[in-house]
């Protein structure tokens, strides 16, 4: 089928080579029963590709269901996918069919496949290999004929290397890979998309379509669009509703574009660092934040020691402002003990702070266990956000589901 016809039918706008290639692969694989893995950042339109594949396949008259694996709690995902028998667990007051039963003969789109628990991954692999599954609480093997289209915004190959995703399932899902390009990889399509959204919202709100001047168009093209097409559509709607002047300047546009300062943490993608990538493992993200904070504290402590050495007369005031130094400074100090090598090292001299007697301090061993630090960080986030998991997870840079798992793993009381 002609690619332009597919674009018109499914409302796809753009002419970039990467987008066209992804559509060509989707069309070619549609009339087969091969498993497809759609990869791409959040907001690029991965579900649209799954609908294209289903609508052009021999299964188009059979059911199509989209399932977000990241939105289903870990304790119920097996029941949702494979069904359960009455009494198989608390609350199972009746038998229930899972998606692999109800979609028999059709297509199941599994979004955020990387969030699927390892146990469920093993059961999914059995379905893909043999077309067999067992309901939760049953011993009866049932057959199903479901085509699986999976999608992810994570680097699954990296996840397999870190033990977060089964390697055998990855290669079974990755029979035909389709990579949907991000918006910053198809800059030539940004103005086309914006113009289409502007016209649509003008009709919706019964106003004149907004226009961008030359500087505003350049700003729109060069913005990194971390939310991709979804973010662009939201910005177009905001401007259509809130802009007083229908000719939008760069100054006007800047008010609607959020500040984008990519993360300062190192990110890994396919074994290489990639600034701003969202493929980083959640637990490691927490640890990097912790290490950066520790480094900052050590640097600040060194600076304070150096200030005391260079200005002994002002030590009393500094001690009053920073009480913890009264315990930290308990023996003669030099520039070298502060971690700084001066050009001309002075002879070591005892440090006296305004004649006050400095008592010998007791060293307290601090735990350097990574799991203890992670637990402490999670408890601080929950306390900061008054027990609200969603806000705490966002502050920690992890998913709410990962936070829930960590709460159970560390037995943290909320």
CA atoms of 135 and 111, how far apart (whole Å) = 22
Last residue of a domain, one of 254, 276, 300: 254
Structural domains counted in the chain: 3
CATH of the domain at 49: 3.40.50.300
Q: Is residue 67 part of a domain?
A: yes
Q: Are residues 381 and 233 in the same domain?
A: no
Name the domain boundary from 215, 234, 254: 254
Mean pLDDT highest for which of 154-163, 254-263, 365-374?
A: 154-163
115-139 in b/e form (b: 16+ CB < 10 A) is bbbeebbebbbebbeeeebbbbbee
Average pLDDT estimate for 185-204: 95
CA distance linking residue 333 with residue 321, whole number of Å: 20
pTM: 0.63
Residue where one domain finishes, among candidates 154, 181, 208: 181
CA angle 216, 217, 218 (to 5 degrees): 90
Residues 197 and 168 in one domain: no
Q: pLDDT confidence of 328, banded at 50, 70, 90?
A: very low
Overall average pLDDT of the 365-394 stretch: 79
Report the C-alpha gap between 40 and 151 in whole angstroms. 8
Q: Is residue 102 part of a domain?
A: yes
pLDDT at position 285 is 55
User: Both 157 and 204 in a single domain?
Assistant: no
Domain assignment present for 293: no
Residue 135 within any structural domain of the chain: yes
Residues 30 and 165 in one domain: yes
Q: Quick one: 210 and 83 in the same domain?
A: no
User: Same domain, yes or no, for 121 and 197?
Assistant: no
- If asked whether residues 219 and 160 sit together in one domain, one would say no
What pLDDT is attached to residue 135?
A: 94
Q: Is residue 272 part of a domain?
A: no
Whole-number Å distance between alpha carbons of 258 and 262 = 12
Indicate if 27 and 131 belong to the same structural domain.
yes
Helices 400-409 and 389-396 cross at an angle (nearest 10°) of 100
Q: Looking at the structure, do residues 80 and 131 belong to the same domain, yes or no? A: yes
> Burial code of 158-182, b = ≥16 C-beta within 10 A, e = fewer?
bbbeeebbbeebbebbeebebbbbb
Mean pLDDT taken over the chain: 82
What CATH number has the domain bearing residue 239? Answer: 1.10.8.60
pLDDT digits (tens, 9 = 90+) for 46-81: 999 999 999 999 999 999 999 999 999 988 999 999
**Pick the residue with more confidence: 62 or 382?**
62
pLDDT at site 264: 38
**Segments forming the whole domain that contains residue 396:** 368-409
Inform me whether the pLDDT recorded for 27 exceeds 60. Answer: yes
Claim to verify: residue 25 and residue 142 sit in the same structural domain: yes
pLDDT single digits (tens) 77-133 = 999 999 999 988 888 888 999 999 999 999 999 999 999 999 999 999 999 999 999
- Do the domain assignments include residue 145? yes
Q: Are residues 155 and 100 in the same domain?
A: yes
CB of 105 closer than 8 Å to CB of 145: yes
Q: What is the average pLDDT across 260-276? A: 43
Confidence check: pLDDT of 245 > 70: yes
Residue 201, domain member (yes or no): yes
Q: What is the bridge-based pairing of β-strands 132-134 and 141-143?
A: antiparallel
CATH of the domain at 391: 1.10.10
Same domain? For 37 and 157 the reply is yes
Question: Which is higher by pLDDT, 333 or 50?
Answer: 50
**Of 200-204, 243-247, 354-358, 365-369, which gets the smallest average pLDDT?**
354-358
87 located within any domain? yes
CA dist., res. 258 & res. 200, Å (int): 23
């Amino acid at each position: 089928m002609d690619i332009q016809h597919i674009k018109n039918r499914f409302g796809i706008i753009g002419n970039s080579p990467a987008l066209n290639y992804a559509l060509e692969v989707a069309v070619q694989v549609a009339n087969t029963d091969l498993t497809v893995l759609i990869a791409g950042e959040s907001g690029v339109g991965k579900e649209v590709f799954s609908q294209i594949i289903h609508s052009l396949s021999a299964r188009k008259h059979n059911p199509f269901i989209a399932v977000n694996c990241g939105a289903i709690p870990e304790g119920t995902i097996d029941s949702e996918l494979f069904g359960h028998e009455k009494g198989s667990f608390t609350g199972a007051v009746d038998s229930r069919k899972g998606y692999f039963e109800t979609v028999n003969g059709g297509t199941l789109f599994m979004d955020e496949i990387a969030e699927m628990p390892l146990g469920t991954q093993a059961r999914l692999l059995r379905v893909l290999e043999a077309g067999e599954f067992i309901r939760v609480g049953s011993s009866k093997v049932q057959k199903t004929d479901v085509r699986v289209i999976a999608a992810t915004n994570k680097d699954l190959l990296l996840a397999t290397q870190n033990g977060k995703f089964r390697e055998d399932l990855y290669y079974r899902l990755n029979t035909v890979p389709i990579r949907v390009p991000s918006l910053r990889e198809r800059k030539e399509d940004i103005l086309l998309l914006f113009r289409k959204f502007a016209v649509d919202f003008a009709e919706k709100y019964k106003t004149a379509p907004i226009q961008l001047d030359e500087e505003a168009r350049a700003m729109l093209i060069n913005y990194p669009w971390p939310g991709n097409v979804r973010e662009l559509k939201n910005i177009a709607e905001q401007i259509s509703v809130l802009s007083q002047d229908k000719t939008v300047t760069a100054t006007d546009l800047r008010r609607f574009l959020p500040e984008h300062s990519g993360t300062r943490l190192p990110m890994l993608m396919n074994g290489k660092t990639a600034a701003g990538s969202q493929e980083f493992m959640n637990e490691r993200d927490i640890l990097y934040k912790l290490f950066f904070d520790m480094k900052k504290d050590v640097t600040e402590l060194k600076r304070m020691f150096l200030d005391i050495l260079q200005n002994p007369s002002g030590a009393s005031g500094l001690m009053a402002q920073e009480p913890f130094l009264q315990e930290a400074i308990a023996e003669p100090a030099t520039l070298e003990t502060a971690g700084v090598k001066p050009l001309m090292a002075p002879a070591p001299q005892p440090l006296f702070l305004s004649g006050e007697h400095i008592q010998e301090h007791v060293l307290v061993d601090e735990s350097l266990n990574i799991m203890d630090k992670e637990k402490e960080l999670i408890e601080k986030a929950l306390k900061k956000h008054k027990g609200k998991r969603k806000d705490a997870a966002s502050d920690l840079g992890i998913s709410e589901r990962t936070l829930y798992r960590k709460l159970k793993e560390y037995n943290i009381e909320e």
